[in-house]
Amino acid sequence: MEKKALIDHLNQDLSGELQAVIQYLTYSAKVTGPWRPQLVTFMQTELQDELLHAQFLADKIVALGGDPTTRARPVPAADTPQEMLKAILAAELQAGKDYTQRAEQADAFGDKGLAVQLEDMVRDETHHAEETAKLLKNWD
């Protein structure tokens, strides 16, 4: 894989992380109902992970000679906790898929450090997705 193509892909990932940061921030402000305290804690904890992912990607893009995007993917509108959790689950599953592919591309590019970091991020996103799926289960 060419360096330019890898940088472009990492910038798409960064857009996704910026979306995740905005998504967790706004959803945690908006979420209502009896589970609000738990959901706020959950979302704000996830937000810190996404912020670290975004920071890593921005730093790496610059290290590779690129320019980190400031554009976030659009955050889906959601009003109920279930709508929010479904939108979160979709984003987390997408991130896990994207980083799995990106780790392989980083390996093919010959940057083992990047590949290892991206694999760590696959683990984080898989954990986020599994926790979100558990929250969505048996919801009355």
102 binds Fe ion, rule: CB under 5 A: no
- Applying CB under 5 A, the site for Fe ion has a residue count of 5
Least Å distance, CB 32 to Fe ion, is: 23
Select 34 or 70, whichever has its Cβ closest to Fe ion: 70
Cβ–Cβ under 8 Å, residues 106 and 118: yes
Select 74 or 140, whichever has its Cβ closest to Fe ion: 74
60 binds Fe ion, rule: CB under 5 A: no
CA angle 25/26/31 to nearest 5° reads 110
Least Å distance, CB 20 to Fe ion, is: 5
How far is 35 from 28, CA to CA, in rounded Å?
Answer: 11
Cβ–Cβ under 8 Å, residues 12 and 99: no
Select 32 or 55, whichever has its Cβ closest to Fe ion: 55
Q: Which of 10, 23, 50, 118 binds Fe ion (CB under 5 A)?
A: 50
Select 2 or 89, whichever has its Cβ closest to Fe ion: 89
How far is 123 from 135, CA to CA, in rounded Å?
Answer: 19
53 binds Fe ion, rule: CB under 5 A: yes
Q: Which long-range contacts (CB under 8 A, 24 or more apart) does 58-63 make?
A: 58/14, 60/10, 60/114, 60/117, 61/7, 61/10, 61/11, 61/14
125 binds Fe ion, rule: CB under 5 A: yes
Which residues of this chain interact with Fe ion, rule CB under 5 A?
A: 50, 53, 92, 125, 128
